[in-house]
Structure 1
Amino acid sequence: MPRPHGFTYDEHADGSVTITHQGRAAGTLRGARAAKFLAEAASGDQQLVMARWTGAYKHGNERVARRHPRNQG
């Protein structure tokens, strides 16, 4: 599975976090969710964490795409 890329996040003075993907806003976290996200992002792979928190992670078609003739090696 390809590794997600293009995610960034900005922490704001009011404690909220805005996650962007390739320059477009993908999600905003506030309060306890923002704190939990920041703790998780500091301890793991940030790209995977941001993909998971925005919902852009494993849409369910990865297994089907792997079996497609175009993707056979």
Structure 2
Amino acid sequence: MGDNVSVGAGANIIGPVHVGNNAVIGAGAVVLKDVPDNCIAVGVPARIIEKNRRNKVNEKSDACIRNASGSY
């Protein structure tokens, strides 16, 4: 299990599976395969629905900080 992983209620991670850093596992998901870093996995069996989400989060955070500080 990587760092900063979020696992929804009722999710099951079965077997020798690696869940990467900053991954999100949806509620009720059944994870049977590895989930890479920065991905969102949902469903039964779990499938990746979004990749590289960390980059998007960082871009939005940077934009918020720039707007709050008054520099664009």
> Shared topology, TM-score over 0.5?
no
Structure with greater helix share of residues: 1
| TM-score scaled by length of structure 2 | 0.32
Q: Which structure's relative contact order is higher, taking Cα pairs within 8 Å and 6+ residues apart?
A: 1
